[in-house]
Amino acid sequence: MNIIAADAVPASVEAENTLQIANDADLAEIAASGALEGVARVELQFPKFTDGRAYSQALLLRRRYKFAGDIRATGDVLIDQLVHMHRSGFSSAVLAPGVDASAAQRQFERFSAFYQGDVLEPRPLFAREAA
């Protein structure tokens, strides 16, 4: 996962082929309208880190709508939610201003596996162990 410090992103420059999706937007409608075609990056919003709607959006973009570009977390993005984001399908995250990234990497190394399936490994543990 590409973890980006807040001050490393020029605020004024909008990346090309980037689609920003609000966390209350209906993904099925967006996908059906063809709006995802040609998009290199989708930015999903965390207005507060406790607002978890974008996790579902990222997961559906990957699993159901087969979006293969970058999915970027923006807004109130903190260290302790990065693993959840990565597992839900986010491939990059811009940390909230003032968040020190030094504690981030070890969060990814802690758990070797999880019970439920996710975007990185769709099969739950039981299906993996049975295989």
Partner 1 sequence: MYQYTDFDRQFVTLRAQQFRDQLERWQRGELTDEQMLPLRLQNGWYIQRYAPMARIAVPYGEISSLQLRTLGHIAREYDRPTSELLAHAQATQDELEAAQPGATLAAAPLKYGYGHFTTRTNVQFNWIPITRAADVMDLLASVSMHGIQTSGNDIRNITCDALEGIAEDGIVDCRPFAEITRQWSSLHPEFSYLPRKFKIAFNGAKEDRAAIGWYDIGLQALKNDAGEVGFTVKVGGGMGRTPIIGSVVREFLPWAELLNYIEAIVRVYNGYGRRDNKWKARIKILVKSEGQAFITAVEKEYRDIVELDGAPHRITQAELDRVTSHFVVPELKPANLPSKVDPQGQLYQRWLAQNVRGHRLPGMKTVTLSFKRLGFAPGDADADTLDALAQLAEQFSASEARLTHEQNLLLPWVFESDLPALYEAARKLGLAQPNIGLLTDMIACPGGDFCSLANARSLHIAEAVTERYQDLDELFDLGPIDLHMSGCINSCGHHHSGHIGILGVDKDGKEWYQITLGGADGSQLSGPAIGGKVVGPSFTAAEVPGVIEAILDTYRALRQPGELFIDALRRIGHDPFKQAANAARHAKAEEAVH
Enumerate binding residues for partner 1 (CB under 8 A).
24, 49-53, 55-56, 59, 63-64, 78, 80-81, 83-85, 87-88, 100, 103, 106-107, 110-118, 122-127, 130
In the complex, the smallest distance separating the C-beta of residue 13 from partner 1, rounded to whole angstroms, is 28
Place of tokens 């609000």: 22
Helices (H), 6-99: 27-32, 53-63, 82-88
Distance CA 1, CA 109 (A): 12
In the complex, the smallest distance separating the C-beta of residue 109 from partner 1, rounded to whole angstroms, is 10
CB closer to partner 1 out of 69 and 124: 124
Helices (H), 7-117: 27-32, 53-63, 82-88, 104-110
Run of H or E residues at 128: helix 125-130
CB closer to partner 1 out of 74 and 81: 81
CB closer to partner 1 out of 13 and 111: 111
CB closer to partner 1 out of 17 and 28: 28
Do 89 and 96 touch, CB atoms closer than 8 A? no
In the complex, the smallest distance separating the C-beta of residue 129 from partner 1, rounded to whole angstroms, is 8
